[in-house]
Structure 1
Amino acid sequence: MAKIALKVDVDTLRGTKEGVPNLARTLERFGLKATFLFSLGPDHTGRALKRVFRPGFLKKVSRTSVVEHYGIKTLLYGVLLPGPQIGQQAAAEMRAIDKAGHETGIHTWDHVEWQDGVRHKDAQWTTEQMQKSWDRFIEIFGHPPATYGAAGWQMNEAAFTQLDQWGIKYSSDGRAEPNLMPYRFALPSGKLKHVQYPTTLPTFDELIGVDDASEFDAAKKILDITQSNPNDQVFTLHAELEGQKLLPAFEALLAGFLNQGHDPVTMGELHRSWEATKQLDKIAQLPLTWGEVANRSGELIMQKN
């Protein structure tokens, strides 16, 4: 039926060293590949605590057991403990994913700093952050990234322009309603070349705890959306969640996708399937717009046709 791209956001050192190998083993058992997007600079997860004043943040934290999933040590990074360099301390785990045939790309340099600040930063700050991530990626993998996926679904115009300058052909930096409709950006500075494949399915942490839903209830709700749905989708998971405590529920979700007849793929495979049908010649050129997603705090990049 449909292709469902599996996009793995890797935010922390613990997620890279523990969650990523766990997910790799699970995917191998299913005979599947995914796209892993790595945070490559310092792990400053503890600094995210300043989001406590953002509407909806405390509710999300209480629903998803942040301490249980991330661990006390990770939540102290950048506050009471120095933030470790993820790309240096977990390079072996990253290379193992690449060697296993999964698609690898850039998530960010400093996840917290990017997610909380990039929307209002200038071009110089943005390109410096992105160049750091690019240089570290090349240092680790020895080849350019295949794709990109913004931390926290946050970008700015300079960041999107940089993707074109890098030669990135496809990226997943925003959100959209279920049923994938790829698009290109038409910004004040001009039309961009790369194709955007927004996340279309809700994430586990947006569903768990809502009406007392468990992680397996969350998987079922996602499968309710994809049941008998012929449209392509993008599903974002996190190495810190589905790669650790939520792994059994993610396995149930994968089994469900396959039982429904869907084809879980990498972002690259999804892009090539759209290229092969020449549908990319007809996709919309859209402005950069923002909106809210149910059960997630703050505004995100949102596709609005």
Structure 2
Amino acid sequence: MIPVLLRVDIDFSFGLKKGVPYIMDVLERYGIKATFFPVMGPDTVSSHTKKFSQKGYIKRIMTMNPLKMLAGFGPLFFLRGKLLPLKYVGSGHPEILKKIISAGHELGLHSYNHAQWANQWPNLPDTYIEEELKRAGDEYRKVFKKDCRLWGSPNWRTSEYLYHLLDKNGSRYTSNTRGNSPFSPKYGDRVYKTVEFPISMPALHELIQTGIRKQDTPKIFEKCLTSDYNQWVIHCYYEGILEKEMFENVLKHLMEKGCTFYTFEQFFEQTGSGCLPACEIDSITVPGGIGKVSCQKTFLKNNYFTHLSANL
């Protein structure tokens, strides 16, 4: 039995409305539970027009197939918040969030304003981080009338003050980095209690960005597996709308290879938090990614990258 934590990031409203129902149907068919991370505040998809000058961004759009994007997202998806009213993602669709919970999945927070967090990193002011957690939490409480202590940072970009707040709020686990195994975040001499569950596997859109063929992705994922810990992140707009077939092919292949899928809570309850290594956090650019992201320091030398180079 090979454990895989399945994380579903919900960045935009159209991904929540169109992608989540499909992903939930697939997971129900295979008897899988996952942890969903919705943005709780405004849909900031229109801010992506500013990224066209960023190295690698136009290539990413082209590999996603612009015509397929128009068909799947709608012709005005980049204009939301510019010519069209700005809508909220998670809290703007409470009925879908409630369906996620009622289906037995886990729900965490993926920020209030995804674009602001991602764009300000690594210079995130402590006051901003505190306000971001508060505002996302407030939106969650409007829907569920209770607190949420699970956080997954936008673009996998974190800071020490975030762990300070998570410890203060009583969080048991979180996911803000790329890495290879669960750990206790360490900054200087201080070790934080909240367990970090890092993303250990590549994202599908990253593989395609590097030039890997869709039909080769199941084998790539198989090579990236480890026996005791794996985390796979998918996105509603990509696996739930643009690349449904590729997503399901990888999912089926992993199950055939003996993988069992877990929510974060299920994995935490099964493994606990004892005897975890204290690891420092650094930053890295992953193959197919744009810009640096936070990572477990050991991931700089011990990662899945070598499994990709042989296939390019």
Determine the C-alpha separation between the residues in 2 that align with 1:259 and 1:146.
Answer: 34
Q: Secondary structure at the match of 1:125?
A: helix
1:257 maps to a residue whose letter is: L
2:109 maps to a residue whose letter is: I
Q: Provide, for residues 60-105 of structure 1, a one-character-per-residue CA deviation record: whole Å limited to 9, x for no partner.
A: 2222236345444222123333321123431110111011110011
Q: Secondary structure at the match of 2:211?
A: helix
Identity %, equivalent residues:
25
Aligned position for 2:130: 127
Q: Is the 8 A contact 2:20 2:240 kept in 1?
A: yes
Match of 1:299 among 281, 292, 296: 292
Q: Is the 8 A contact 2:64 2:242 kept in 1?
A: no
Superposed displacement of residue 31, structure 1: 0.9
Q: Secondary structure at the match of 1:79?
A: coil
Determine the C-alpha separation between the residues in 1 that align with 2:163 and 2:74.
Answer: 33
Match of 2:232 among 232, 235, 242: 235
Q: Provide, for residues 144-185 of structure 1, a one-character-per-residue CA deviation record: whole Å limited to 9, x for no partner.
A: 325221110112222222221221111111112xxx421111
Match of 1:266 among 250, 263, 267: 263
Q: Provide, for residues 22-47 of structure 1, a one-character-per-residue CA deviation record: whole Å limited to 9, x for no partner.
A: 11111111111100011010001111
Q: Provide, for residues 199-230 of structure 1, a one-character-per-residue CA deviation record: whole Å limited to 9, x for no partner.
A: 0110010011533612x43233213333xx42
Superposed displacement of residue 246, structure 1: 1.5
Determine the C-alpha separation between the residues in 2 that align with 1:181 and 1:87.
Answer: 29
Q: Secondary structure at the match of 1:4?
A: strand
Aligned position for 2:244: 247
Pairing 1:281–2:280 present? no
Pairing 1:10–2:16 present? no
Aligned position for 1:225: 224
Q: Secondary structure at the match of 2:198?
A: coil
Q: Secondary structure at the match of 2:239?
A: coil
Q: Secondary structure at the match of 1:46?
A: helix
Determine the C-alpha separation between the residues in 2 that align with 1:225 and 1:86.
Answer: 32
Q: Is the 8 A contact 2:149 2:169 kept in 1?
A: no
Query: How large is the RMSD of aligned CA atoms in angstroms?
Result: 1.9
Q: Provide, for residues 111-169 of structure 1, a one-character-per-residue CA deviation record: whole Å limited to 9, x for no partner.
A: 11111114212111111111000111122123332522111011222222222122111
Q: 1:219 to 1:81 in 2, by over 3 A?
A: farther
2:54 maps to a residue whose letter is: R
How many corresponding residue pairs?
295
Determine the C-alpha separation between the residues in 1 that align with 2:128 and 2:65.
Answer: 33
Aligned position for 2:310: none
TM-score when scaled to structure 2? 0.88
Q: Is the 8 A contact 1:219 1:250 kept in 2?
A: no
Aligned position for 2:80: 77
Q: Secondary structure at the match of 1:106?
A: coil
Determine the C-alpha separation between the residues in 2 that align with 1:86 and 1:217.
Answer: 33
Equivalence map 1:1-305=2 (5 Å): 1-65=1-65, 67-68=69-70, 70-145=73-148, 147-176=150-179, 180-188=180-188, 190-211=190-211, 213-214=213-214, 216-226=215-225, 229-275=226-272, 280-305=273-298
In structure 1, stretches of 5+ residues that fail to align are none
Segments of 4+ moved more than 6 angstroms:
none
Q: Secondary structure at the match of 1:231?
A: coil
In structure 2, stretches of 5+ residues that fail to align are 299-312
